[in-house]
Amino acid sequence: MTNSSDPIGELLMGMRMRGASYGKLHLLPPLGAGFSASAEARFHFIAGGRGLLRSPSGELIPLSCGDAILLPRGDDHALVSRPDAEVRPIEAFRTVPLCPGMCSFEAGDLETCPEKGVLVFSAAMQFELDTLHPLIELMPSVLCVSSVPGMEPEVRPLLDAMEREMTGSRAGTAGILARLAEVVAASVIRNWVECGCGDASGWVAALRDERLGRVLAALHRDPGREWTLAEMAGAMGSSRSVFAERFAAATGTTPLRYVATLRMRLAAQWLSRDRMSIDQVARQLGYQSQAAFSRAYKRVTGQSPGQARKVR
């Protein structure tokens, strides 16, 4: 068993951008672009002008050139050029291909509008290491570079590079922007963790505990293993009773129930998003038969694996 105990680091390394959702949006008054709730995170970078983010709670957050925004749970929100802007769904804007992997959303008449508007790079982000979903649930709905202490020194050169790519017309712009956005988003999350995770506790506290974090890292790295309480306690270096008590106090659940929930969260993702067969999922999670897996899945989730496959 590896000694790595940095599941947060593994999550940050597992993030990637979904190319189909890259977009360059030039938002001109009086228009605004609405983004409906999604299972994916949403990343925005303001490359020019000033505007506002209408947050999931309805709060208007000022944005200016160089700001980066991450909505880790993909909550419903809007980018507007001014408070009274008419908001249209982003899907309603005409799209024009710019280069492989990126399109432009036409949100106004650039030639006749006397105001410059807001230039935005936008992308959907998929957290590949879905076993760490609890961290995403604990984050605030909106994370901004401007609102996270200590972000400017480490991220400013990356944001400057994104601005140059957005306003230039060089080859490979889409790929460069995607990679820069990945690093910026990972830095935002890392800084949130390092600054205490706001009011979050429990699961994050367990990750920060060196001995418990070692166990959690092992569980998330190998969820298909037939874990026993004795093995988990051994990884922590304590008795079963002490381990079970500390684990429950930190996470709010028992170790074996945590493993079961972790497995079924992965199973749901593989069935509905990755379209894996029920038999494939059962084998990958260590079940001896499809029937045994189906019983466990229904016990934890309340529905059959077949029903999960119908959800897209």
Instruction: Summarize pLDDT for 132-178 with one digit per residue, the tens.
Output: 566 777 788 999 887 555 556 778 888 888 888 887 777 778 788 88
Looking at residue 115, its pLDDT comes to 54
Taking the C-alpha atoms of residue 181 and residue 21, their distance in angstroms, rounded to an integer, is 13
pTM for this predicted structure:
0.73
- Highest-pLDDT range among 33-37, 97-101, 181-185: 33-37
- Domains (range + CATH), the chain: 7-194 (2.60.120.10), 203-309 (1.10.10.60)
Taking the C-alpha atoms of residue 16 and residue 126, their distance in angstroms, rounded to an integer, is 6
- Neighbouring CB atoms inside 10 A of 81's CB total 24
Q: Is the pLDDT of residue 51 over 70?
A: yes
What does the block give as tokens for 24? 């360059």
Q: Is the dihedral of CA 253, 265, 206, 242 positive or negative?
A: positive
Q: Is the pLDDT of residue 205 over 70?
A: yes
Burial environment of residue 227 by CB neighbours within 10 A (0 to 12, 13 to 18, 19 or more): buried
Instruction: Summarize pLDDT for 212-250 with one digit per residue, the tens.
Output: 888 888 888 788 899 999 999 999 999 999 999 999 988
The pairing of strands 31-35 and 86-89 is: parallel
